[in-house]
Amino acid sequence: MNEPSVTLRRLLLWLLLFGLAGVTTELILLGHYDGTRMLVPFLAIAVAAVGATTRLARPSPRSVRWLRASMVPMMAAGATGAYLHYLGGVEFQADMDPTLSRWQLFWKVIHMQAPPMLAPGVLVQFALLGLVSTYRDPLTVVSRADSAKGVRP
């Protein structure tokens, strides 16, 4: 097995775990737990952390598939969070100034500090990092000879 690629893959997974811990800490410090919707990122982060930890602790084709699958809730939570932050910002800005045009409203919302519309995008970025760590993973690559025999990783 190519040692530099194994090392790089592990570093990417550790970077993912470190980033997830940082986002979790930030969400806790911001009090992002005042309702069911606000707990969704915590659940997505937990699933992703289990996927990354499993891949690090028990490298196997199954752990690679689990890691890939665990990135899906992260992407969904990030996209949904950005949308919900946008809706919250629209509601707030429309109450503050009902005379705003759609473009002005959009512009104000994307520049708001609370709720930060693009902040949930960090979950999408971390999900992509997790997926990149599985790119051409040797545990999932089947040689042509094995493929001809019907062997699956």
* 54 in Cβ contact with 69 (< 8 Å): no
Residue 114, SS3 per DSSP: coil
Q: Alpha-carbon distance 92 to 131, whole Å? A: 36
User: pLDDT for 125-144, tens place per residue?
Assistant: 999 999 999 998 988 876 55
Nearest to 36 by CA among 106, 84, 68, 92: 84
Domain range summary for the chain, segments of one domain joined by +: 3-137
Question: Which pTM does this prediction carry?
Answer: 0.86
User: pLDDT for 3-32, tens place per residue?
Assistant: 778 899 999 999 999 999 999 999 999 999
